[in-house]
Amino acid sequence: MKVSMEWLHKLVDVNQTAEELAETLTRGGIEVESVENLNKGFEKVVIGEISSLTKHPNADRLWVCDVNVGQKNVTIVTGAQNLQAGDRIPVAMIGAVLPNDLAIRKSKLRGVVSEGMLCSREELLLDASVGLDRSEGGILVLAAEAPIGENFGKYLGREDSVLDLELYPNRPDCLAMVNVAREVASLTGKQPHLPKWADTAKGLDLPAAENLKIIIEEEELCRRYAGLVVENVHIAPSPEWMQRRLKAAGVRPISNIVDITNYCMLEMGQPLHAFDRDKITGNIHVRSAKAGEKIVTLDGVERSLQADTLLIADDRQALAVAGVMGGVDSEVTGDTKCLLIESAHFAGVSIRRTSRRLGLRSEASNRYEKGVNPYGCVATLGRVCELLLELGAGRPVAFLDELKTLPLQRQITLSVQHTSTVLGLELKDSDIRQVLENLNFKYEEMEGIFDVEIPTYRADLEIEEDLMEEVARLRGYDLIPTTLPQGDTTQGRRTPEQEFRRRLRKVLVQSGMDEVMTYTFTGAAKDAQWGSAQHSISLLNPLREELSVMRTSLVPGLLEVAAKNTARRNTEISIFEVGTTYWGDEKPLRELPREVLRVAGVAVGKSGRHWLNSQTQYDFFYVKGILEEIAREFGLKFDYRMSENRPRLHPGRSADVYLHNECIGFLGEIHPSEEKEWALERAVLFELDLGVLFKHMRPIVRAQSIPRFPAINRDLAVVVPIDTSAAAVMTKIHKLGGELLQNVELFDVYTGKSIPEGRKSLAFSLHYQSLERTLTDEEVNILNSRILEGIQQEFDAEWRK
């Protein structure tokens, strides 16, 4: 809502500047988004009269003018050739910044000091409607009666500021100037001066119309339909003051009749529509459109209407789309002699649906959607009558008011005690009284209980708490003190699952991975590659195809991030995300879907070059190391099995990850045939389901004491066939070593010189330890030989001495 300060001044006393008022309103809950100064660029432009002009002594084409600017005369040099003594012209004084951003400074032109600039239309961004004809191509010459010394913006009627209100949905009343004035009055403790019709709900003192009846067929969608018949219509432009206010409000002036309807709507908040009475056949029907019905609206577009569109029609045809836009057939034209002016109350829901469907939004539909006061219909017509007569635009002759049930007028009981308690602010009866007086609300009072009559324009006030807000905001929110809740102390702590997610992130970050956060929606095709098309959930109204399904895998998002970073020459990519995947078990969804938490990561490239450390290639084992770190953190052990069914992974370099015999995810190198699509070479990735992990995690560490007896370490190297699983050999060693063998580490894998083709050498470090005694070399030697024999038999292994 754009509020002209000049207009507002007519409705309420304001002794604040536009900026100050903006602050008052904003602090009072009516947010002012901007303050526009309409006089911008004209602040230092005044009307001057050319007292004399003489040829410049040193230049043929220049004139030196002596200009009377009111209090004094100034000398100004100009190159324009259209001036003569006595002309009144706009003068930009020194310091002016014109609408075209030209800054005026004192200057010297060929030896003559110029104390300002005479302006052309172009420099002032004005059109030919301002000034005399001979202004064309030269300085703008104004009418002879233009007042010397007056600000040029004031002369043009631009000396005004406009507040742009950003209204919350609960305050549609402020889409009317009278209610903005009431609001300003409440917040500043002033009385509004409203037009005499603003508070009237009575009918007009006019006879009922002959031969015209209003028939409301859709009672739910139209509670009230009032009309005014106007004869002796004289179509002309509206007066300058009205045009100016309309323009300030962002409405284009058209003609006196249209302008009056718009002006009254802006002032009173009630949308109006004028029909050419002579083009109405029979009665007015407020009804729903018939299937296939068409109407050509005022913008010249033929529109096919759906069956639930609310229409204004006569006996023959549709005249207007109710509350949205009129039809061409009943449009007011220059020849119109007689009018029907509609002032009706339509249901916001219906208007919103229609305006959406037709893609038509207007000042009227906007107001209906947000809520219009049904009690204001007739009062607004009263104001229309006043202006019609004042402007000589027509003679109101008849009045109609078809009325269905209107909402009851509300009463709210407000307890001073309760209000004080809820706000935490000690209030006296007199404080409440003061607030209600400022609001101009009627009330009855008894021992701290106020029965408040709510005016019909404040439909947002429904319950006691709503009135508490009125009290708080009029008193000022700043008066509310800061306290802390009374009552028992509570303790806050994360749930085990929340703690688990935190620890998981911590392990990954400590392992050197960077956390990323991607959109949870993705493209259907991409998600199907790594997730489950069968379970994916589609949005009905996605922003675009690539963001149209809820992900069932985190992998596509991570691959995209990796690819984007690679393209930007960020090498060393090792990233992870802990995030939700979404699984629908039916289509369409009837129940809320499963939300499954997962962790996934992608590593590609190698660690950066460093003078001290060798570069690490991010490969299968890098990622496996990270998974082992996760397992260690939660006291778990993962099994890795060659993956069978993962076509997008390298078959020889990928594994399914198992926990307690349940597959919880995978890791592996991306299949070479996928590399092109993602523009990623040798990316290694993993994805794990977190539910199973959380279920089996070790809740707390049980500490073990440190052995008091010395340990014995032995190395053991064996040469085995090349496809032997190292894990299998380790498991066997553990089994053979019994409980004295505390730990086995694989410290070397070797193929090449001195190892026969088709075989590899595995070297293990065996750690023997007893908790009860010191071990002897002898018993360790026996164990070691037993282990060696055992693996020689099982794995076709040879001892590598």
Partner 1 sequence: MERMVVLKKEILRIGEEALHELQQLNNSEALQELKVKVLGKKGSLTALLRQMGSLGPEERPMMGQVVNEMRSRLEKAWEERSAELEVIALEKRLAAERIDISLPGSRVASGHYHPLTQVVEEIEDIFLGMGFQIAEGPEIESDYYNFEALNLPKDHPAREMQDSFYITEEILLRTQTSPVQIRTMEKLHPHLPVKVIAPGTVYRNDDDATHSPMFHQVEGLMVDQGIRMSDLKGILLNFSRQMFGESREIRLRPSFFPFTEPSAEVDVSCMLCGGAGCRLCKGTGWIEILGSGMVHPKVLEMGGYNPKEVTGFAFGMGVERIAMLKFGIEDMRLLFDNDLRFLQQF
User: Whole-angstrom Cα distance, residue 139 to residue 152?
Assistant: 14
Span interacting with partner 1, options 331-339, 517-525, 683-691, 761-769, rule CB under 8 A: 517-525
Q: Which two tokens stand for residue 192?
A: 């509004």
Q: Does 511 bind partner 1 (CB under 8 A)?
A: yes
| Start-to-end CA span in the chain (Å) | 91
Q: Are 759 and 778 in contact (CB under 8 A)?
A: no
104/684 with CB nearer partner 1: 684
Beta-carbon contacts of residue 232 (< 8 Å; ≥ 6 apart): 337, 394, 395
Q: Does 509 bind partner 1 (CB under 8 A)?
A: yes
515 is in an annotated binding site: no
Q: 588: cis peptide before it, omega within 30°? A: yes
Span interacting with partner 1, options 20-28, 100-108, 225-233, 692-700, rule CB under 8 A: 20-28
Q: Is the dihedral of CA 380, 381, 382, 383 positive or negative?
A: positive
Of the candidates 143, 141, 144, 134, the residue with the CA atom closest to the CA atom of residue 90: 141
Q: Give the 3-state secondary structure of residue 132.
A: coil
Size of the site for partner 1 (CB under 8 A): 95
Binding to partner 1 (CB under 8 A) within 157-196 occurs at 168-172
- Member of 70, 147, 149, 593 binding partner 1 (CB under 8 A): 593
In whole angstroms, the minimum distance from the beta carbon of 370 to partner 1 comes to: 5
In whole angstroms, the minimum distance from the beta carbon of 653 to partner 1 comes to: 22
- Cα 146–chain centre separation: 48
H or E stretch covering 107: strand 107-109
Binding to partner 1 (CB under 8 A) within 209-228 occurs at none
Span interacting with partner 1, options 137-145, 498-506, 636-644, 743-751, rule CB under 8 A: 498-506
29/99 with CB nearer partner 1: 29
In whole angstroms, the minimum distance from the beta carbon of 170 to partner 1 comes to: 5
422/788 with CB nearer partner 1: 422
Q: Does 758 bind partner 1 (CB under 8 A)?
A: no
Q: Is the dihedral of CA 301, 304, 308, 311 positive or negative?
A: positive
In whole angstroms, the minimum distance from the beta carbon of 491 to partner 1 comes to: 6
Rounded to 5 degrees, what angle do the CA atoms 475, 476, 480 make? 100
User: Whole-angstrom Cα distance, residue 685 to residue 683?
Assistant: 6
Q: Give the 3-state secondary structure of residue 154.
A: helix
Binding to partner 1 (CB under 8 A) within 90-129 occurs at none
Q: Are 305 and 289 in contact (CB under 8 A)?
A: yes
548/761 with CB nearer partner 1: 548
120/552 with CB nearer partner 1: 552
Q: One-letter amino acid identity for 311? A: L
User: Whole-angstrom Cα distance, residue 13 to residue 801?
Assistant: 105
Q: Does 487 bind partner 1 (CB under 8 A)?
A: yes
User: Whole-angstrom Cα distance, residue 65 to residue 77?
Assistant: 6
Binding to partner 1 (CB under 8 A) within 596-655 occurs at 607-608, 610-613
- Member of 73, 413, 538, 769 binding partner 1 (CB under 8 A): 538
469 is in an annotated binding site: yes
User: What are the strands of the beta sheet with 31-37, ordered from one edge?
Assistant: 2-4, 161-166, 31-37
User: Whole-angstrom Cα distance, residue 1 to residue 269?
Assistant: 11
Q: Does 533 bind partner 1 (CB under 8 A)?
A: no
- Member of 211, 490, 645, 704 binding partner 1 (CB under 8 A): 490
- Member of 300, 334, 359, 481 binding partner 1 (CB under 8 A): 481
Q: Does 492 bind partner 1 (CB under 8 A)?
A: yes
DSSP of 280-311:
--S-EEEEEPPTT-EEEBTTS-EEE--TT-EE
146/573 with CB nearer partner 1: 573
Q: Are 436 and 450 in contact (CB under 8 A)?
A: yes
Binding to partner 1 (CB under 8 A) within 123-162 occurs at none
Q: Are 100 and 123 in contact (CB under 8 A)?
A: yes
466 is in an annotated binding site: yes
451/465 with CB nearer partner 1: 465
In whole angstroms, the minimum distance from the beta carbon of 699 to partner 1 comes to: 19
In whole angstroms, the minimum distance from the beta carbon of 622 to partner 1 comes to: 10
Of the candidates 523, 234, 271, 556, the residue with the CA atom closest to the CA atom of residue 395: 234
In whole angstroms, the minimum distance from the beta carbon of 588 to partner 1 comes to: 5
46/174 with CB nearer partner 1: 174
Q: Is the dihedral of CA 349, 351, 355, 358 positive or negative?
A: positive
User: Whole-angstrom Cα distance, residue 52 to residue 64?
Assistant: 8
Looking at the DSSP assignment, which residues form a beta bridge with residue 528?
Answer: none
Residue ranges in 568-669 assigned as alpha helix (H): 620-633
- Member of 513, 604, 670, 762 binding partner 1 (CB under 8 A): 513
38/558 with CB nearer partner 1: 558
567/749 with CB nearer partner 1: 567
Q: Give the 3-state secondary structure of residue 568.
A: coil
Of the candidates 563, 557, 546, 545, the residue with the CA atom closest to the CA atom of residue 581: 557
Q: Which two tokens stand for residue 669?
A: 């190198």
In whole angstroms, the minimum distance from the beta carbon of 262 to partner 1 comes to: 22
266/513 with CB nearer partner 1: 513
Binding to partner 1 (CB under 8 A) within 545-574 occurs at 547, 550, 561, 564-565, 568, 570, 572-574
User: Whole-angstrom Cα distance, residue 108 to residue 102?
Assistant: 17
Site string for partner 1, 445-464 (x = CB under 8 A): ------------------x-
434/607 with CB nearer partner 1: 607
User: Whole-angstrom Cα distance, residue 489 to residue 286?
Assistant: 62
In whole angstroms, the minimum distance from the beta carbon of 514 to partner 1 comes to: 5
Binding to partner 1 (CB under 8 A) within 322-381 occurs at 348-349, 352, 369-371
In whole angstroms, the minimum distance from the beta carbon of 542 to partner 1 comes to: 7
Span interacting with partner 1, options 103-111, 142-150, 241-249, 508-516, rule CB under 8 A: 508-516
In whole angstroms, the minimum distance from the beta carbon of 21 to partner 1 comes to: 15
In whole angstroms, the minimum distance from the beta carbon of 748 to partner 1 comes to: 23
In whole angstroms, the minimum distance from the beta carbon of 73 to partner 1 comes to: 40
In whole angstroms, the minimum distance from the beta carbon of 137 to partner 1 comes to: 43
Of the candidates 340, 346, 363, the residue with the CA atom closest to the CA atom of residue 269: 363
Q: Is the dihedral of CA 326, 329, 334, 338 positive or negative?
A: negative
Binding to partner 1 (CB under 8 A) within 371-430 occurs at 371, 421-425
- Member of 448, 542, 691, 790 binding partner 1 (CB under 8 A): 542
Q: Can you say which residues are annotated as belonging to the binding site?
A: 460, 466, 469-470
Q: Can you say which residues are annotated as belonging to the binding site for Mg(2+)?
A: 460, 466, 469-470
